[in-house]
Amino acid sequence: MTTNTDARDQLIDLAADFYDQFAAGEIPEMELPTRTKSNIEYDEESGVWTYGDRTSVRSANSVNGARKLLKAAYTIEFLAEQLDEDRSSTLRELYYLSESWDNDEAQFSSQDESNDLVEDLEIVTGATREDFHMRPEESGAKVMGPLRLREQTNRGDRDIHCQLDVGQGGYQIPNNPDTIEFLENDAEFVLCVETGGMRDRLVENGFDEAYDALIVHLGGQPARATRRLTKRFHDELDLPVVVFTDGDPWSYRIYGSVAYGSIKSAHLSKYLATPEARFIGIQPADIVEYDLPSDPLSDSDVNALESELEDPRFQTDYWEEQIELQLEVGKKSEQQSLASRGLDFVTETYLPERLEEMGVA
Amino acid sequence: MTSFQSSLGDEEGIAEELAESQREISIAEFFEKNKHMLGFDSGARGLVTAVKEAVDNALDATEEAGILPDVYVEITEVGDYYRLVIEDNGPGITKEQLPKVFGKLLYGSRFHKREQNRGQQGIGISAAVLYSQLTSGQPAKITSRPKGQSEAQYFELIIDTDTNEPEISVDETTSWDRPHGTRIELEMEANMRARSQLHDYVKHTAVVNPHARIELREPGLDEPWKFERATDELPAETEEIRPHPHGVELGALIKMLEATESYSISGFLQEEFTRVGKKTADNVIDAFRDQHYGRELAWSPPSSRSTVTGATNDDVAAAIEAAVANKGAAATSAFAEGVVEALAERDRLSRSELEGIVGTVADAVEEDTGRTFGSTVRGNATEAAWRVIAGVDDGDADPANADSTDPADASADGDSPIAADLYALVDEATSTRKDDAAIRAMAEALAFRVANLDGEAYRIARDDLERLVADAATFVADQHDATFGETARENVVEAVWSRARTVPDAPPKVRTVAGDRDVAADLLEAMRETDILAPPTDCLAPITAELVEAGLRKEYDADFYAAATRDAEVHGGDPFIVEAGIAYGGEIPADGSVELLRFANRVPLVYQRGACATTDVIRTIGWRNYGLDQPGGSGMPNGPAVISIHVASTNVPFTSESKDAIANVPAIEDEIELAVREAARELKSYLNKRRSMQQRREKRDVLGRILPEMADKVSEVTGRPRPDIDGALARIMNNVSVEREREDGTVRLVVENHSDVNEQLEITDIVSAEPTDVSAGTVVDMDGEWFVQWTPEVASGDERELTYSVDGDADFEISVGGVETEKLTVNE
């Protein structure tokens, strides 16, 4: 974990780079990996997907480039001060805060611009957003399961058991899960669940207790904190991770970002991705096998599936087989379609069968 | 002084009309009836027209005398009338010349003068004189001082409207301060409602005549409006050329025929027209004979006929021998054999050709045998041989037509050699889809009609042949249900006509042609269809691109000027040259459409802009390509631009007699477009460059603001002193930077070229102490200041060091040239 001072120094180093470029009569610039699908590569060593060798240069030799670098300089100053004072702020706050800067040219014109700039700074400095004490707007998701942990809050350390000390909603993952220390656990595996409805069903049915599962709610495309915590569960507690989503192409990408990392944050894949995470369902094969209620694939679904066949992250035998099967049957099903077999079907039949198949539990 | 030509007469239409009408009506009446065509239809327009005529004549007069024009125009109110005074510094005008100048209104020169001159546009000063006389009752007051004379002469002149003769009523000596020149004073009923057209006319005249100085005074101007001279170069003198055969009209041709001293058409053509020598004249005359006399159809002699049946050469020989009496057997047979031998060399021949052969052979036999073959004998022999060849020995009997109900039986080969020949021609001319019976029927129907032609020579004009073929086709369609469409008929006509022979008859003499409109029309047609070299172009005097630009530069305060002059082209028989100029930006108003200046032979066209070919061309050009705004992508472009178009020609085609708009002649429109596009391309590259300069400036402004702020911020964050960012700035802006570095006694000027082109700079450093050890430069001592100069060429991306040594604390002042200031950064 990077300390405040480390992150601050890395930011100041970047400013110093600009300074040195100026002093040498050169045009300030920073080099970044090209952030496109075609420029992510599989890293054999870590088993995650990271940016490839192609880079693009953000240079002050154009009006736009100069504005970007000016904003970077202002943002560096802001972040350095924030770290000095050990405070934090959200990405959205950064966007609004820029309005207070004395320079109109340095103000962000949209939040996308400020978000992108923070990602640029992460990539160039090698630190993470969390190191800069920048929080995303959306709160992290929730965990329910047999685990006791200690969280550093700014009201002091709190020891929390993720079944006994929490309500029906579970333990709220903080923005920087690296502030968590794992104390003890009885967990057998981690089950990441896409939808809130399914998570609630599993908790209501006592699945976490019955199977000693750490149920992590992903809540759509998972926040970084959720992915980071999942990775820590795997790496530090040595727990197998399975991902449970809807059976459609968009949900496979949710699995992909947990397991392989996302294109936008590929620079953090080693920190966020859990390559060992496995997909539990809903598999296209399940739609057929369990004769689940389904919807026909729309054109955009088909395009998304075909695009996934091209995506280097999905070029495995397993995924090619599943995706081709789905294209063949032309159907998709939601997690909650399992309820067509009764409310207990998922906890008593589907998941146990799948876990056994996968050799997890 | 011929420049006061009354050009009204040059125009065929009006000249003829005038010549016709003057016998019946008075000139006053005629003028009244036609003043709309003459540009005097209103008081407002009359004044503009009078100024125009007078100024055009003044310019022509001075130029012809090789004098740089200095023209003064004054309009004053005199009671109910306006007084117009035009003065020039021309060669003046003598009393003897006065009637020529002012009396030629009705007669003009007989022919259109093939020369580029202003008057060709105009109605003539005499019309203005007449207008003034008719509206105010005042005579024209003319003051003239020929060069070198101490006194000036003053005339008052009126035109007698009964006799149409100019009369000089006052002739006295006077004094005038101009050393030479002419002053015309006219009083007329008029008004100044057309002031803007008047101003346009004068201003545009100044634009297109940069060698002229023009001054205008009129009641609406507080100060005289002066247009100064922009060049001392007179327009090139123009050569008058004779008319080109492709450029004359029937009326003009008849007049030329009437007036020529030539006796023969060949002489006439060579004498009166440009680009006609003996050979061209012969070609024209052959075509003329074909037009006038028709051709003689030619038939195959028996020897070359493919069919075995029918007459043979022996038959021809027998016929000739039978026709020749009392010449002795040997001579007779030698004669007959000679003719047959000559025939054998021919594919086909006409009767005239046969006559020629008979004559040649007869001459040879006469020489060999001493026997005389007189014209009767020759005539008889020709007659006899021709009957065999053409198969007319059966008189008027017509087997082909009578029996043609059964084409299979009515074979053409037996009794009509003509039908056989025609069969071959029709077969060759028609497509393979036609069945043989139809072709045979056509050939026979045609043969029947050909046989009925007057005379035995089968002489026929082309249009008659066309009628005949059409008639035969109709007959065949009726009788045989076989259609010969238009193309098929044309092909048949062409096949027959191309085999027919031009007759040997001498063409009619000039007098005959002149007296017969139809014959003259034949000649004109012959001239038009003959290929003749295009007319020479040295009769034109373009303004030249350089002076077109100078003219614009003089009258329009713009940022950019471009001009183009095309090479001469020919339309009809008249050569022409198109020039175009564009001025852009500066003081030219940016709102509304661009201003279009139209000129014909250096005369501004101020009326009927919408009807002019120039306007049409401008509208069709896609101006957005050239950087001008053009709503909807067509039509008049908008923006701060002036486009000028000059068409110079020996005969500028106008849409109407008032000569305000150039007619839509494709050849001229094409050249207008090319000229305008040529100038517009320069405009485009200028605008592109300007745009990139603008962007560069914007970038410079924005970066010049942002980068120091960024430098401040990074120095704040890093806690270091503010870095020097000049080098970075120069580099970023694709700049050329010149930077002075001084170490001890050595001064180094570092020139860095960050632009993407090579730069040739002129650098001057002014030093207050004497410099030494100057690297590759020159030093000039100027009263205690030393000018150190270099002209380094620095390649794109390269850098150069210029050094010298100087003692103590010398002062410097650097100036850098050879590179746009936008691109230059100098750090001292």
Domains of chain A, first to last: 4-135 (1.10.10.10), 142-358 (3.40.1360.10)
Give the nearest chain B residue to A102 (CA atoms).
B709
Q: Rounded to an integer, what distance in angstroms lies between the CA atom of residue A237 and that of residue B222?
A: 101
From the candidates A96, A171, A252, A271, which is the catalytic residue? A96
Give the nearest chain A residue to B716 (CA atoms).
A77
Give all strands (DSSP E) within B329-470, no chain letters.
459-460
Residue B519 contacts residue B292 (beta carbons within 8 Å): yes
Mean predicted lDDT score pLDDT of chain B: 82
Cβ within 8 Å of residue B454, ≥6 positions away = none
The answer to whether the Cα torsion of B191, B195, B201, B202 is positive or negative is positive
Lowest mean pLDDT among A123-137, A231-245, B9-23, B337-351: B9-23
The ipTM estimated for the assembled molecules is 0.74
Residue A245 backbone zone (phi > 0: left; psi -120 to 50: alpha; other: beta): beta
pLDDT of residue A198: 92
pLDDT of residue B285: 93
Look at B147 and B623; give whichever has higher pLDDT.
Answer: B623
Q: Which of A63, A105, A125 to mutate to test the interface with B (most CBs of B within 10 A)?
A: A63
CB contact under 8 A, A63 and B725: no
pLDDT digit string, tens, across residues B354-389: 888 988 888 888 888 888 888 888 888 888 888 888
Q: Is B764 exposed, middle or buried (CB count within 10 Å of its CB: 0-12, 13-18, 19+)? A: middle
In B, what residues contact A, Cβ < 8 A? 698-699, 702-703, 705-707, 709-711, 713-718, 720, 723-728, 731-732
A62 touches chain B (CB under 8 A): yes
Q: Which element (helix H / strand E) includes B515?
A: helix B510-515
pLDDT of residue B415: 56
- Across the range B546-572, mean pLDDT stands at 88
- Give strand pairing partners of B172: B154
With a pLDDT cut of 70, the percent of chain B lying above it is 88
Chain B CB contacts of A74 under 8 Å are 713
Q: Which residues in chain A (97-126) have CB-CB distances under 8 A to chain B? A: 103, 105-106
Residue A345 contacts residue A202 (beta carbons within 8 Å): no
pLDDT digit string, tens, across residues B124-147: 677 888 888 888 888 999 998 888
- Check pLDDT > 50 for residue A341: yes
pLDDT digit string, tens, across residues B744-777: 788 888 888 877 788 888 888 888 888 888 888 8
pLDDT of residue B393: 53
Residue B410 contacts residue B400 (beta carbons within 8 Å): yes
Q: Is omega for the bond preceding A282 within 30 degrees of 0, making it cis?
A: yes
Nearest to B718 among A16, A60, A106 (CB): A16
Maximum mean pLDDT: which of A327-341, B697-711, B771-785 = A327-341
Min Cα distance B746 → chain A (Å) is 22
pLDDT of residue B110: 30
Min Cα distance A154 → chain B (Å) is 28
CB contact under 8 A, A26 and B703: no
The answer to whether the Cα torsion of B326, B328, B332, B335 is positive or negative is negative
pLDDT of residue B399: 42
pLDDT digit string, tens, across residues B58-116: 888 888 888 999 999 999 998 889 999 999 998 888 877 776 666 555 433 333 455 66
Residue A2 contacts residue A271 (beta carbons within 8 Å): no
Q: Return the DSSP state at B65.
A: T
pLDDT of residue A150: 94
Give the nearest chain B residue to A72 (CA atoms).
B710
Closest CA to A178 of A319, A336, A4, A53: A4
A70 touches chain B (CB under 8 A): yes
Q: Residue A295 is which amino acid?
A: D
Per the annotation, the verdict on A271 as an active-site residue is no
CB contact under 8 A, B706 and A27: no
Residue A179 contacts residue A151 (beta carbons within 8 Å): yes
- Check pLDDT > 70 for residue B308: no
pLDDT of residue B310: 62
- Check pLDDT > 60 for residue B240: yes
- Give CA B591 to chain center in angstroms: 35
CB contact under 8 A, A61 and B732: yes
CB contact under 8 A, B710 and A70: yes
